[in-house]
Amino acid sequence: MHELSMAQGIINAVLETAENNNATEVTEIYIEVGRLAMLNPEQLRFLLDVLVENTIAENAKIDISEIPVTINCPECGYEGVANLDDSDHYAPIIECPNCENLRISILNGKDCVVKNIVIEKPDEE
Ligand SMILES: [Zn+2]
């Protein structure tokens, strides 16, 4: 399942970052999911909740935000947020809002990234 491998990758990255920073606990995790990442945010959240069990991120607040698809249109030079029809989840239609061209290049919105994490460090006093 696509969501599972993504969720596993996210948690691995979070725990690795936390370990590199000598964290005792991860309290918040901020994730950005592109509209074209083909991820169901609810399913992703469910999997993340399962995967953090018995790790230092067990009680972390997980924040998932969807980010829009941005494109570059070779026809009219438009660069920005695309018109997106993703009613068909697996074959979304992406269009230039300016000239309705479909042959655009996608700049952003395909990835799922860990934007930020908040950690607790051991008391040094
Ligand atoms: Zn255009």
Does the pLDDT of residue 40 top 90, yes or no? no
| pLDDT band for position 86 (cuts 50, 70, 90) | confident
Does the pLDDT of residue 57 top 70, yes or no? yes
Q: From residue 79, give the alpha-carbon distance in Å to each of 31, 33, 107, 111.
A: 24, 20, 9, 18
Does the pLDDT of residue 63 top 90, yes or no? yes
Please report the pLDDT score of residue 71 as a whole number: 97
Domains of the chain: 1-67+109-125 (3.30.2320.50), 69-108 (no CATH)
91 CA to centre of ligand 1 in angstroms: 20
3-state secondary structure of 24: coil
97 CA to centre of ligand 1 in angstroms: 7
Please report the pLDDT score of residue 39 as a whole number: 85
104 CA to centre of ligand 1 in angstroms: 8
Please report the pLDDT score of residue 102 as a whole number: 94
11 CA to centre of ligand 1 in angstroms: 38
